[in-house]
Structure 1
Amino acid sequence: MKRFVVRLLINSVALWLTTLIVAGVSVESYDADDTLATVLTYLLVGLIFGVVNAVIGNFIRIVAFPIYLLTLGLIALVVNALLLLLVAWISELIGFGLSVDGFWWGVLGAIVLGLLSWLIGVLLRPIMGRSR
């Protein structure tokens, strides 16, 4: 359970930093004036991102393994961008959350989000434990 909460926090903080860095990726809170509402929105979008990445992302990576080999992994940029766009679509159905301006903003956002998640994960590895 501790690992799940830490991963959720990593995704949420990385998403927040991504919205600060990438102009085409933003998160719209249901109450922009309330700080707690904004934090809860980032946590909810981080949860949606984690679930989509764990379930659909892993399925796509398994099914498309030959394409990953053929393109030397470059297809991962497209897959991650599409997963980010899927999270934006799901959060749009809720009425608030992630907004991505287009496919190429999704590619850039996915790259930045992946790098930030990795960096924060490396920094928090002693908290999460070594077993993976």
Structure 2
Amino acid sequence: MNLIIRIIVTAGLVFGIAHFLPGVHVAGPFTAMVVAVVLALLNVFIKPIMVLLTLPFTIVTLGLFLLVVNGLMILLCTKIVGGFTVDSLWVAIFFSIILSLSQSIVYSIVGGDK
């Protein structure tokens, strides 16, 4: 049940952020839901591999390269989900930062544990 709530919250945040952030476009609420599911799957299966492969860059940049990895996850999601577009890597990085901060705030209010 907690997973379903997290997916719904993430979908709402994706839809809301895309509405206000120039360069991010979501076709509709259903597309936002698909984006939330795909992002969850990418974060479970692909992101750990990318973090491991980019570990030297992450160490040298004191962890800041993880922002790029998050942006790449967003761009990969745009290739998988039709109706979800992001104009550039910089916009994807900014989108991922806003999404992560928003999720942290909402999950602390809702009480969703990781």
TM-score, length of structure 1 as denominator length: 0.77
The separation in 2 between residues aligned to 1:97 and 1:124, in whole angstroms, is 29
1:124 corresponds to: 110
CA distance in 1, matches of 2:69, 2:7: 21
2:101 is aligned with 1:115: yes
Query: C-alpha separation between the residues in 2 aligned to 1:10 and 1:58?
Result: 23
Tell me how far 1:69 sits from its aligned partner. Answer: 2.3
Identity across aligned pairs (percent)? 25
Structure with max Cα Rg: 1
Whether the aligned pair in 1 keeps the contact of 2:15 and 2:29 (CA below 8 Å) is no
Partner letter of residue 24 of structure 2?
Answer: V
- The question of whether the paired residues in 2 share the 8 Å contact of 1:45 and 1:97 is answered with no
Q: How many residues align structurally? A: 114
Q: Does 1:6 align with 2:5?
A: yes
Kept in 2, the 8 Å contact 1:24–1:101? The answer is yes
- Structure 2 length as normaliser, TM-score? 0.88
Change (3 A) 1:62 1:122: farther
Equivalent residue, structure 2, for 1:90: 80
5+ residue gaps, structure 1, are 29-37
Shift >6 Å, 4+ stretches: none
RMSD: 1.6
